[in-house]
């Protein structure tokens, strides 16, 4: 396989970040979290970064074409010659179309879109169980990483609170938005035969193994097609 250009999809709490970092280590490919790329372009004061900052300073959404341009700056670089891992973009079908058009200009394309499937109930369980230290932001989980004393931070003894965005009703609202925007995007990539579904409710190491097997199968398919 000449290059491996991957897009990670999945709801909040699906573990995309964890799997992106694992792929970065396993494949030695750059891992691009879109928010980090955008902030980096603003910090480095690239032409597109300055343009993005104007929108951000006004409190406006950064247009898709600007975000795609910022991503293209990173993709069209020596560090991404063998491929890349993109997390957080695209989020909508128009964004996917814009990304495909830009990649086509560069003579490249998306190799695979890894959709990490996690049910809404599991997302609520994962995110809704988080507890945050009121004083210094230390994070716990009532099930996966509980404090020694319920409701109290192990480190500084301050109360643990449920942040607004960790409340079940807020999480479910976020999930509604995710499904509304993502279903057409999933259909878009499925119609292009690049979508691969990963069962995301397994343990992180098992999810990583699924992804490795999926990519190995993809390599064999592409080798056979040559």
Per-residue pLDDT at 195:
97
Known catalytic residue at 163: yes
Query: Which is catalytic among the residues 16, 22, 108, 126?
Result: 16
**Three-state SS at 201:** coil
pLDDT tens digit sequence for 46-67: 899 899 899 888 888 888 889 9
Find the DSSP H helices in 2-156.
Answer: 16-27, 34-44, 47-58, 64-75, 93-105, 120-128
pLDDT tens digit sequence for 55-114: 888 888 888 889 999 899 899 989 999 999 999 899 899 999 999 999 999 999 999 999
Query: Which is catalytic among the residues 39, 53, 74, 91?
Result: 91
Query: Which is catalytic among the residues 53, 167, 172, 174?
Result: 174
Kindly list the structural domains of the chain, giving each domain's residue range(s) and its CATH number in brackets, ordered by start.
4-120+168-225 (3.40.50.300)
Instruction: Work out the end-to-end distance of the chain between its first and last CA atoms, rounded to an integer number of angstroms.
Output: 10
Known catalytic residue at 22: no
**Rounded-to-integer distance, Cα 34 and Cα 4, Å:** 18
pLDDT exceeds 60 at position 220: yes
Average pLDDT along the chain? 92
226: pLDDT confidence band, cut at 50, 70 and 90?
A: low
> Is this model's pTM higher than 0.85 or not?
yes
Known catalytic residue at 125: no
**Rounded-to-integer distance, Cα 218 and Cα 6, Å:** 12
pLDDT > 90: percent of the chain:
73
Query: Which is catalytic among the residues 22, 126, 130, 131?
Result: 130
Known catalytic residue at 148: no
Query: Which is catalytic among the residues 163, 172, 181, 212?
Result: 163
pLDDT tens digit sequence for 172-208: 999 999 999 899 999 999 999 999 999 999 999 999 9
pLDDT exceeds 60 at position 209: yes
Per-residue pLDDT at 153:
97
225: pLDDT confidence band, cut at 50, 70 and 90?
A: low
């Amino acid at each position: 396989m000449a290059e491996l250009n991957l897009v990670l999809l999945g709801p909040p709490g699906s573990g995309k970040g964890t799997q992106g970092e694992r792929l970065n280590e396993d494949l030695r490919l750059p891992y691009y979290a879109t928010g980090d790329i955008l902030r980096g372009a603003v910090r480095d004061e690239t032409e597109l970064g300055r343009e993005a900052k104007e929108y951000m300073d006004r409190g406006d959404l950064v247009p898709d074409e600007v975000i795609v341009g910022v991503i293209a700056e990173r993709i069209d670089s020596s560090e991404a010659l063998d491929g890349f891992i993109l997390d957080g973009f695209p989020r909508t079908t128009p964004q996917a179309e814009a990304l495909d058009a830009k990649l086509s200009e560069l003579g490249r394309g998306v190799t695979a879109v890894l959709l990490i499937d996690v049910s809404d109930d599991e997302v609520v369980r994962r995110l809704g169980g988080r507890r945050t230290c009121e004083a210094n932001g230390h994070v716990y989980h009532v099930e996966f990483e509980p404090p020694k004393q319920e409701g109290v931070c192990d480190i500084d003894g301050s109360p643990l609170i449920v942040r607004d965005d960790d409340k079940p009703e807020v999480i479910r609202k976020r999930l509604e938005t995710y499904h509304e925007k993502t279903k057409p995007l999933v259909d878009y990539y499925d119609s292009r035969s690049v979508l691969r579904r990963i069962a995301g409710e397994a343990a992180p190491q098992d999810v990583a193994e699924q992804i490795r097997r999926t990519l190995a199968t993809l390599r064999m398919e592409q080798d056979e097609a040559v």
